[in-house]
Structure 1
Amino acid sequence: MRADEMDPQAQAVVDRRLGISPIADHDHRVLRLLQRVSTWFGNRDPPAVGATTDGSIPGPESDLRVRLYRPDAPGPYPTIVFFHGGGFVLGSIGTHDWLCRQLTRETGAVVVSVDYRLAPEHPFPAAVEDAYAATQWAADNPDRLASDGTLAVAGDSAGGNLAAVVALMARDRGEPDIDYQTLLYPGIGIHEGQESVRQNDGIVLSLADIEWFEDCYYDGEIHQRNPYADPAAACDLAGVAPATVVTAGFDPLRDGGVDYAERLATDGVDVTHRHYPDMIHGFATSPRIDRAEEVVGDIATDIADAVDRS
């Protein structure tokens, strides 16, 4: 599952992160400030799309900030609702701007990037409620999005968890109708006994970091057993939207993602598992890694195929 050597570009990204590792040693407010500064410098020459629009949509408790990315082509378009990573504590629309732009360019879809509430100020189920509400809004407002009626959810890391949970909730509640889910190295089914956690401890994420994120988000062990907190706890995944699950060899979350892909397949869900053995956690958001564009192209192909079948 892991290559003999890490991709050199990925290794360079890991080396640059050493100054903020482990994450758990820092106050979450300081980390958010550092992310804002890094985002400001990193987003100065973004990939071009047709248009971006910042706005807000109704949320469960207050309005949610969203950014819409429109293709440089006439609509109507498929719609992708995207949830950023960051352990449910960090991350923002800005940190994932490059990835959402690339998704728009490669898929020809309008991407709705959602700024959901973060822990520890807003622990579970706040992020889940926001993610589901945003997806329902996208389904209910095709005219505002110039949508062709097809709808996918996507996310990376914690956002991959949210995308999977929204797909599960949509099955359980009977709405909205989700055509596809894309889970990039999702934070699903993680436990310290997994080989990937032991093997890759400290590569981008340490076990201490994972436990810290969980403590901030779940606010109690009982919540971790809720399938809407961790869909690996679901008794049955049959009937959820077809999926692409992306995993990386040098990622502590690898085995959780692999197990979830296998669970989906066992329960009769059409799933494509794309594994990148020389990659690290978070690689799809890094323009410094050439394979980031490759994975976006790969998942765009999967989404396009799903849209054609729908």
Structure 2
Amino acid sequence: MPTLDADARRLVDLGRQAGKPPFEVLTPVQAREAYAASWDLLQPPAEPVASVRDIDIDGPGGVLRLRVYRGTGTAAGQCIPCLVFLHGGGWVIGGLESHDRLCRNLANAAGICVVAVDYRLAPEFPYPAGLDDCEAAWRWVHQHTAELSIEPERIAIGGDSAGGHHAAVLALMGRDGTVPAACHQTLLYPVTDIAAESDSYRSVADVPLTAATMRWFIDLYAPDPAARAHWKLSPLRAASFAGLPPALLLTVGHDPLRDEGRAYGERLHEAGVQMLSLHAGDQMHGVLLQGRMVRAANVLAEMLGTALRAALRPVAN
């Protein structure tokens, strides 16, 4: 495994010197507060976009909020591709604000609409509440393409970490016809097997996201261990990957999720799924939200946006 990037190492050292506790020793509420306190420290200022607005829709648990971004250079009524983006945070922390800047970056770099989903969090709402919200949002977007000025045939699903987990599940459900099919899936260091037994769970240490932290998240989201082998909790265990939409996959080296993410890519490849795979061996989990401190984060975000543009807008316009 390559040495951790120098910027990332400095970030880890600063956190240690500040005595920042790991999430697993906090309550979920305290973890959310600690996470929120890091956003301005770690992330660069928000990029302007052509437009951004919040929309409330009816969700399975009540009002479900979506945030709709249109990338700079897109006209108000122009019909453009869309990425429905599901935020990370271990199903326990995070929301629209934590990933606002990343969604803006992707919308601008790809020249698309991005719809972010503020799904319910564990432990107050364990599995399947968050997934149910994501499914409801996914259906709503497909039903309101005219209102959103998006292309019905070019709606992609994506997310990072736990959001990448939800995205992978929805892509499988779309393949099976139980929800509208995605034209593309963007999986950014995704959770794909919550058994948490891969080698990277044992070998990766000395970074903020450790095996202990991930297992804390998993226990809060899916408290019944007997259910964890189901593909809706561990999409790596789906019987077949045949017929899945093209994928953009990002994995990083210093991450307990590294091996399951790369194994997911291998299964996509073996199933003949068109895929662009990017592995940043010297980066750690969450790098895309570290751009103020880790210069490579901004390069990766731009690369991902460019790849999304090529996937969703294949003909120059």
Q: TM-score range by the shorter chain?
A: over 0.9
**1:93–1:115 Cα contact (<8 Å) kept:** yes
Query: Where in structure 1 are there 5+ consecutive unaligned residues?
Result: none
Distance 1:135 1:37, change over 3 A: same
Name the CA distance, whole Å, in 2 between partners of 1:118 and 1:296.
26
1:270 alignment counterpart: 274
Report SS of the residue matched to 1:58. Answer: strand
2:100 alignment counterpart: 97
**1:80–1:109 Cα contact (<8 Å) kept:** yes
For residues 84-120 of structure 1, give each alpha carbon's deviation from its aligned partner in whole angstroms, at most 9, with x where no partner exists.
1110001111111111110011011111111100000
Code of the residue aligned with 2:225 in structure 1: it is: E
2:134 alignment counterpart: 131
TM-score when normalising by structure 1 = 0.93
Q: Does 1:196 align with 2:200?
A: yes
2:309 alignment counterpart: 304
Name the CA distance, whole Å, in 2 between partners of 1:240 and 1:115.
25
1:23 alignment counterpart: 23
For residues 132-185 of structure 1, give each alpha carbon's deviation from its aligned partner in whole angstroms, at most 9, with x where no partner exists.
111111111112211022101111100110110110111122541311101000
1:253 alignment counterpart: 257
Distance 1:160 1:240, change over 3 A: same
Aligned length: 308
Code of the residue aligned with 2:217 in structure 1: it is: F
**1:80–1:152 Cα contact (<8 Å) kept:** yes
Moved more, 289-298 or 39-48: 39-48
**2:105–2:305 Cα contact (<8 Å) kept:** no
**Superposed CA RMSD:** 1.9
Report SS of the residue matched to 2:200. Answer: helix
Deviation at 1:251, TM superposition (A): 1.1
**1:43–1:97 Cα contact (<8 Å) kept:** no
Name the CA distance, whole Å, in 2 between partners of 1:152 and 1:38.
29
2:147 alignment counterpart: 144
TM-score when normalising by structure 2 = 0.91
Name the CA distance, whole Å, in 2 between partners of 1:60 and 1:96.
23
Map residues 101-180 of structure 1 onto 2, 5 A cutoff. Answer: 101-149=104-152, 150-180=154-184
1:183 alignment counterpart: 187
Map residues 230-241 of structure 1 onto 2, 5 A cutoff. Answer: 230-241=234-245
Match of 1:293 among 293, 298, 304: 298
Code of the residue aligned with 1:67 in structure 2: it is: R
**1:179–1:306 Cα contact (<8 Å) kept:** no
Name the CA distance, whole Å, in 1 between partners of 2:199 and 2:243.
30
Off by >6 Å, runs of 4+ in structure 1: 40-44
Report SS of the residue matched to 1:301. Answer: helix
Report SS of the residue matched to 2:62. Answer: coil
Name the CA distance, whole Å, in 2 between partners of 1:225 and 1:128.
16
Code of the residue aligned with 1:16 in structure 2: it is: L
1:61 alignment counterpart: 61
Query: Where in structure 2 are there 5+ consecutive unaligned residues?
Result: none
**2:242–2:271 Cα contact (<8 Å) kept:** yes
